[in-house]
Structure 1
Amino acid sequence: MAPSDALSSDDQNVDSSAPADNDSATADKNLTRFEDLGVSGSVLEAIRGLGYETPSAIQVAAIPPLLAGRDVVGMAQTGTGKTAAFALPILERLDTNKRAPQALVLAPTRELALQVCEAFEAYSAHLPDVRVLPVYGGQGYGVQLSALRRGVHIIVGTPGRIMDHQAKGTLDLSELDYLVLDEADEMLRMGFAEDVEQILADTPDDKQVALFSATMPAPIRRIAEKYLRDPQEIRIKSQTTTNQNITQRYLVVSYQQKVDALTRILEVENFDGMIVFVRTKNETETLAEKLRARGYSAAAINGDVPQVQRERSVNHLKEGRLDILVATDVAARGLDVERISHVINFDIPTDTESYVHRIGRTGRAGRTGDAISFITPRERYLLKHIERATRQQPVRMQLPSTADVNTTRLARFDDAITAALQETSRIESFRDIIAHYVRNHDVPEHDVAAALAIVAQGDTPLLLDPENDPLARVINDDKPARQRSERGGRNDSDRPRAQRRGRHDYAPYRIEVGRRHRVEPRQIVGALANEGGLSRDDFGAITIRPEFSIVELPVDLDRGVLDRLRNTQISGRPIQIQPDRGRPGREGGKRDGGKRYGDRGHSSHGSDDRPPRKPRHRK
């Protein structure tokens, strides 16, 4: 698969220094090729095959010390090309004869873990023996266990699921050579700091560690000082900007609702040509087929599509014979079609450089353009990265309602009638036919017109039924934001969580871990969010009792989410989540007094009941 980790960096600055010995690591500007950095053989062949020639600033600064075996602390915004900065050195030094995991990459979310895994697969395209495994919550243990038994070289995972495998004894990291902390500040924000430290402490002391973070708060600095040996410190300042003619908007929508949401936007938006970006090659074909089934002229382009066919699709887009291209990043690289008025990020990229490249496909030649990004609740944090990279704040949009769609459909229906009325010669011939029908069947002319509209429309209703709207929940969730916007008030996302949902919007769930197990609210949120795909806004009050805890979750929690959460473990204990029935005689009795997630002063202490940490010794 093609990685979305862009490698070009003509507009980035490098400031490198080592805190321990002030060792200068300023990048040599003459090093403009990957082979100059030490990348060679099959890895070099793979990245050339992806079309990359010039390394980014973070790659120029980080690859040489990582190849030399030094620990690295990289301060770089998302989108500076850091995935390749740590992936290429790992692949260069990997021993494929070993079956035990040699490299572990920790990522805060499953989306980022999958994207990093795809990048490793792309960079190792000419290393057929390399096995990469994503390990994250929400995926069945069986797939991961069978892969671990067969042997893997590189594991990319979220801290919670990595800890679960360690507790079960199904993941052996005793031969680990390389450990990467990707988006370390985001892991800290999600409450994974203790898990990360536990994983670091339970891996070999002589491993090489690379830590990448957009910011360097005190806890991250402390982890770096404690677990990294004489690290090379690198700072990258991204200067990426985007065309001011492009209007950036975003829509918060769940993965399952993306296709319906896209269809609705296509109905209401006045677009000319469009590119819809997805993450994988398979998804391009799947989505293009779904759009064609809904009546849109769409085609897929990806790295596997023959060049002749890709050029044909692009030409059809230019000529107006095709309206929508569904593409991956690599397939659309360098695409320049003035007719493209809209770019849709169906899957939002986690690196901002890819985001900038994507939306740059519109707004060409001085024209205006629109970029709309679909963001799942767990991807909200990417908005800050996008704002910093583009120096523009994307505006939250509301999903068009059934009334909006029906208004658009009626307007187009009116336009079609108006256009037909202009064909006077054909109108005359059909007027005689209609008059003949009216005389012979004694039917009013307006009834005949309505019947002809039915014939023209076919079996598909012209108007949507508001009572059977599959996207009603998304629209209703957006109503408060829309109402505040009309009053000039704050956006919904700026309000405290407790004000966004009322108490009646939550239902209590009991989990079988409590104060005796030294569990904290942030551990509960981190585990349930990763395993169930929940956002931080989905959590209400969390009440921790000695033997169990009560967690408030949305009353309309999807059954599938609850099923995924049943096998979740916290501190090595199955949580056995179930609706809280207020069983008589239970400890605490009341549900009042629980802390809403994010409040200060929760009553839990300590960490958890994991096995005691091994003493940390430096060699």
Structure 2
Amino acid sequence: MSDTERDSAPPTFADLDIDDRVLQALSDVGYESPSPIQAATIPLLLQGTDVVGLAQTGTGKTAAFAVPILSQIDLTQKEPQALVLAPTRELALQVAEAFGKYSTHIKGLNVLPIYGGQSYGVQLSGLRRGAHVVVGTPGRVIDHLAKGTLDLSKLRFLVLDEADEMLKMGFQEDVERILEETPEHKQVALFSATMPAAIRKISKHYLHDPQEVTVKAKTSTASNITQRYVQVAHQRKLDALTRVLEVEPFEAMIIFVRTKQATEDLAERLRARGFSAAAINGDIVQAQRERTIGQLKSGAVDILVATDVAARGLDVDRISHVVNYDIPHDTESYVHRIGRTGRAGRTGEALLFVAPRERHLLKAIERATRSPLAEMTLPTVEDVNAQRVAKFGDSITANLESEHLALFRKMIEDYEREHDVPLVDIAAALALQSRDGESFLMAPEPPPPPRREYEKRERPPRKFDEGPKFSRDGQEMATYRIAVGKRHRVLPGAIVGAIANEGGLRRSDFGHISIRPDHSLVELPAQLPKETLEALRRTRISGVLIQLQPDQGPPNQRPGGRQRGRDERGRNDRKFRQDRGPR
């Protein structure tokens, strides 16, 4: 290779002066060339420069800060040397897992995730044992600082991951408080998808002469891929997928889901419906992964159910369809997913399942990719049944050419003579036998139940004191009272963020939120575990202890309330006067 060719070639991780042990770990997981954010950020952080990285999720920013931190870690120091703040416990766990993966060959290095919803005992023992890298959510980090169980006095590296999301969730005050607790001389890396004024303020106040690195995510989609979506409720996804698989002609397909468990569950359900499906996820050993992909290439398997991570690097020409069974939360993942089809100059089909509450994610994908998705009408019962009948006829035609036909013809002729049964009835009985008793035609959908008259009337806005409520997934909800309100300048995002992180709840666990002058009412699952309630009573929003407790309703509805007392005294007084007769 000439000097000119060498200069123009993209850099490899070996060119970035990374610690050999980290370099080996990157090689083990198959990473060769750094992404743009990694190539720009790793050298700066290795030089000790503060960095502001503007990059979307999915651009490889976790390795951009994890690799240089691990290359400079001091195993002799037991106090935390690196702190990564993340907005959610899911991201905190993901980042901690990445640190563990990249530090495989650094013996004795300890990485500890700390987040709400997990018992303090596990975290306290991890901190006592000595954690070189701590990855945490702001609320739980604040708790440990308040208890004196987290010592940041010797911190060397601080990372704010998805800083804009942390601020949207109401963690600005917590983040600034944590920054105040850290040593003045430390290296800070701030990563954000956008640069609002609040992020700019934090950067100016807490970072020293930071270098700004901007990487735009690739959001273009190939023109040879047809993109469609189906709006379908979560509980009807499997039925919708089955109809698509029966009616839509495809050669091979990848179905993307969010979790490892979902890959196994969905693949098993598809096999039960007669489709050749297999699962790949991060828990599957490399040998089995290679065997499964080989089966997909050869045609022994037609459907692969996968997670994003497991499908990384997958390149199979015969994949004609990609189905997003679970919609991705970032556009970069969507682009990577559908890029698995339309290879080698072929055309491809991308189908996205969208639940009614996920339409905002569909709009975000369309805006980012500048590719409007066409809505697809699901195949009807009639469409499915027509396809089944056609395939049945095709199978008869194919078997008429079999070399074994003569043997079975003689057996049928013998049976016809002995039992005097018409040939058409024998053929029908054999067809029924081949179906193994399974219903051949799909049953028509039952008509919707008749709506009662009162259901047709427009309902008034729901109030908090109307009685039992249920979430969309059938979970019973209850109203809880927290001790922060308008005078504390709280917003719904701050309430959701704090309670979700400290209580280990999902966004779907929240109902209506009403912010009152000195308190707020929040609808949450009625049966919250005891440990969750305890954690939430100790949670703070804007520095105020929220003291979460079940709401008792307005004063005149509470047991022993004043209004109730006056009503009862009034009734008792009237009864007393009636008993005595007229004055």
Question: How far apart are residue 89 of structure 1 and its match?
Answer: 1.0
Q: Give the one of 63, 69, 72 matched to 1:84.
A: 63
Distance in 1, matches of 2:357 and 2:128, equals 31
Residue 513 (structure 1) aligned with residue 483 (structure 2): yes
Equivalent residue of 1:366, what SS?
A: coil
Equivalent runs, 1:90-105 vs 2, <5 Å: 90-105=69-84
Equivalent runs, 1:266-415 vs 2, <5 Å: 266=245, 269-277=248-256, 288-289=267-268, 291-293=270-272, 295-301=274-280, 309-327=288-306, 332-345=311-324, 353=332, 355-372=334-351, 386-387=365-366, 390-393=369-372, 406-407=381-382, 409-415=384-390
Question: How far apart are residue 348 of structure 1 and its match?
Answer: 6.2
228-237 vs 163-172, which moves further: 163-172
Q: Do the aligned partners of 1:508 and 1:580 also contact (CA within 8 Å) in 2? A: no
Structure 1 residues 459 and 43, CA gap change in structure 2 (3 angstroms): same
Q: Give the one of 169, 176, 191 matched to 1:197.
A: 176
Structure 1 residues 351 and 413, CA gap change in structure 2 (3 angstroms): closer
Question: How far apart are residue 91 of structure 1 and its match?
Answer: 0.9
Distance in 1, matches of 2:124 and 2:360, equals 31
Question: How far apart are residue 346 of structure 1 and its match?
Answer: 5.6
Structure 1 residues 341 and 158, CA gap change in structure 2 (3 angstroms): farther
Q: Do the aligned partners of 1:249 and 1:397 also contact (CA within 8 Å) in 2? A: yes
Distance in 1, matches of 2:9 and 2:443, equals 61
Question: How far apart are residue 165 of structure 1 and its match?
Answer: 4.0
559-568 vs 91-100, which moves further: 559-568
Equivalent residue of 1:229, what SS?
A: coil
Distance in 1, matches of 2:418 and 2:549, equals 68
Q: Do the aligned partners of 1:246 and 1:371 also contact (CA within 8 Å) in 2? A: yes
Q: Give the one of 42, 56, 74 matched to 2:35.
A: 56
Question: How far apart are residue 362 of structure 1 and its match?
Answer: 0.3
- Could you list the per-position Cα deviations for residues 406-434 of structure 1 after superposition, in whole angstroms to 9, with x for gaps in the alignment? 44542343224423554567997798699
Flag the structure with more relative contact order, 1 or 2, with Cα contacts below 8 A and sequence separation at least 6. 1
Give the corresponding residue for 1:568: 536
5+ residue gaps, structure 2, are 1-6, 450-457, 464-468, 471-476, 564-583
Question: How far apart are residue 322 of structure 1 and its match?
Answer: 0.7
Equivalent residue of 1:365, what SS?
A: coil
Question: How far apart are residue 215 of structure 1 and its match?
Answer: 1.6
Structure 1 residues 377 and 415, CA gap change in structure 2 (3 angstroms): closer
Question: How far apart are residue 218 of structure 1 and its match?
Answer: 1.0
Residue 544 (structure 1) aligned with residue 516 (structure 2): yes
- Could you list the per-position Cα deviations for residues 547-599 of structure 1 after superposition, in whole angstroms to 9, with x for gaps in the alignment? x421246xxx585799856642431746444365545366999xxxxxxxxxx
- Could you list the per-position Cα deviations for residues 368-388 of structure 1 after superposition, in whole angstroms to 9, with x for gaps in the alignment? 323345689999886677556
Equivalent runs, 1:4-43 vs 2, <5 Å: 32-43=11-22
Equivalent residue of 2:153, what SS?
A: coil
Question: How far apart are residue 190 of structure 1 and its match?
Answer: 2.7
Give the corresponding residue for 2:45: 66
Residue 123 (structure 1) aligned with residue 105 (structure 2): no
Q: Give the one of 165, 175, 186 matched to 1:207.
A: 186
Distance in 1, matches of 2:86 and 2:438, equals 48
Counterpart code for 1:369: G
Q: Do the aligned partners of 1:303 and 1:331 also contact (CA within 8 Å) in 2? A: yes
Aligned length: 524
Question: How far apart are residue 74 of structure 1 and its match?
Answer: 1.4
Equivalent residue of 1:73, what SS?
A: strand
Give the corresponding residue for 1:525: 496
Question: How far apart are residue 241 of structure 1 and its match?
Answer: 2.5
Counterpart code for 1:518: H
Q: What is the RMSD computed on CA atoms of the aligned residues?
A: 4.8
- Could you list the per-position Cα deviations for residues 292-317 of structure 1 after superposition, in whole angstroms to 9, with x for gaps in the alignment? 45543233446776766545433422
Question: How far apart are residue 44 of structure 1 and its match?
Answer: 0.9
Distance in 2, matches of 1:518 and 1:154, equals 34
Distance in 2, matches of 1:111 and 1:174, equals 27
- Could you list the per-position Cα deviations for residues 452-504 of structure 1 after superposition, in whole angstroms to 9, with x for gaps in the alignment? 648725367964796899xx9xxxxxxxxxxxxxxxxxxxxxxxxxx999637
Counterpart code for 1:89: P
Question: How far apart are residue 521 of structure 1 and its match?
Answer: 3.1
Equivalent residue of 2:75, what SS?
A: coil
Equivalent runs, 1:126-275 vs 2, <5 Å: 126-248=105-227, 266=245, 269-275=248-254
Q: Which of these two proteins has the greater Rg computed from alpha carbons?
A: 2
Question: How far apart are residue 221 of structure 1 and its match?
Answer: 0.7
* TM-score (ref. length: structure 1): 0.69
Distance in 2, matches of 1:545 and 1:584, equals 19
Structure 1 residues 563 and 372, CA gap change in structure 2 (3 angstroms): farther
Question: How far apart are residue 435 of structure 1 and its match?
Answer: 7.0
Distance in 2, matches of 1:31 and 1:173, equals 38
518-527 vs 419-428, which moves further: 419-428
Equivalent residue of 2:184, what SS?
A: coil
Structure 1 residues 576 and 303, CA gap change in structure 2 (3 angstroms): closer
Distance in 2, matches of 1:31 and 1:75, equals 21
Counterpart code for 2:371: Q
Distance in 2, matches of 1:136 and 1:30, equals 42
Q: Do the aligned partners of 2:486 and 2:515 also contact (CA within 8 Å) in 1? A: no
5+ residue gaps, structure 1, are 1-27, 473-498, 590-619
Question: How far apart are residue 138 of structure 1 and its match?
Answer: 4.5
